[in-house]
């Protein structure tokens, strides 16, 4: 069963790119929203496993949407995709129940690995050579 994802970003091009990338990896896009308020509303009806939220959205920020989503369901995993690198945003995000914080410039094209995974990948011998 595919992981069901809710995408929320106020830029249509970003949502389209994310939809294409995630669908190619086998994720099911359960819904898309152009603002935080619609993201919360849609999540209540489609029950996604994961919500990918832009931090800066109209009507309800990604942080506020994350808080509301956590109130709806503790099972939903929330990832913020943002341009904001400042530590106060990261701290606020994890305080709001966010499970991942990804910078848009890091995710634009190519593969993204968390620091823990990239460190392990660099130090793990290739299969058949260990």
Q: Residue 24 sits in a domain of what CATH number?
A: 3.40.50.2300
Instruction: Note whether residue 128 is domain-resident.
Output: no
What's the rounded mean pLDDT across residues 51-76? 92
**Domain-embedded: residue 39:** yes
- Cβ neighbours, 10 Å, residue 26: 8
State the residue range of the domain holding 77. Answer: 4-123
**Would you say residue 73 lies in a domain?**
yes
Q: What is the tally of structural domains in the chain?
A: 1
pTM over 0.75: yes
| Segment 9-54, tens digit of pLDDT | 999 998 999 999 899 999 999 999 999 999 999 999 999 999 999 9
């Amino acid at each position: 069963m595919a992981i069901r994802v809710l995408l929320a970003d106020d830029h249509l091009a970003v949502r389209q790119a994310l939809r294409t990338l995630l669908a190619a990896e086998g994720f099911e896009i359960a819904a898309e929203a152009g603002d935080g308020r619609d993201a919360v509303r849609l999540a209540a009806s489609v029950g996604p496993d994961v919500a990918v939220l832009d931090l800066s959205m109209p009507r309800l920020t990604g942080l506020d949407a994350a808080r509301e989503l956590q109130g709806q369901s503790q099972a939903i995993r929330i990832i913020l995709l943002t341009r904001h690198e400042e530590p106060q945003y990261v701290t606020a995000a994890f305080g709001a129940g966010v499970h991942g914080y990804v910078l848009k410039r890091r995710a634009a094209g190519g593969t993204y690995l968390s620091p823990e995974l990239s460190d392990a990948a660099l130090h793990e011998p290739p299969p058949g050579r260990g």
